[in-house]
Amino acid sequence: MYRTEDEKRADTKLGEAVLFLLREGAPVNEATLLLRLQQILMTEKDAAGRKATFSAIREAEAALSLRKQENAAGRVTDRADAFRAARQSVQSAHSAHHGPCPSPTPYLPARRRP
């Protein structure tokens, strides 16, 4: 579940980049994904799209960096763990700069009176 619309937009941009690479028959790896995201960033026309693409780039770079560190330490990670850890890293950096993100308010149905 997404905590913010920005996270949803960033994941959409990641998906767009992966789909483009698949359609083109290009290899789908960190380098080609980052390159495609940078190309998308250069062609974005609106501020929300640029922000989402930049967030996707930061997330992919953080996952790549984390994976390189863990591989250097002799540990093998799966990609889901790497992206999850990268997202947490990006969020903590964001929180340090902008303050903590508000928690989503859970939906509580109205109480019925007997």
Lowest mean pLDDT among 8-17, 42-51, 65-74, 93-102: 93-102
Residue 107 located in a structural domain: no
Residue 43 located in a structural domain: yes
Greater model confidence, 3 or 8: 8
User: How far lies 56's CA from each of 14, 72, 73, in Å?
Assistant: 6, 24, 26
Residue 47 located in a structural domain: yes
Total domains present in the chain? 1
For residue 104, the model assigns a pLDDT of: 42
Domain that holds residue 31: 5-98
Residue of 51, 50, 57 whose CA lies nearest to 98: 51
Exposure class string for 74-108: b at 16+ Cβ within 10 A, else e: eeebeeeebbebbbebbbeebeeeeeeeeeeeeee
Residue 75 located in a structural domain: yes
Does the model's pTM come out above 0.85?
A: no
Residue 113 located in a structural domain: no
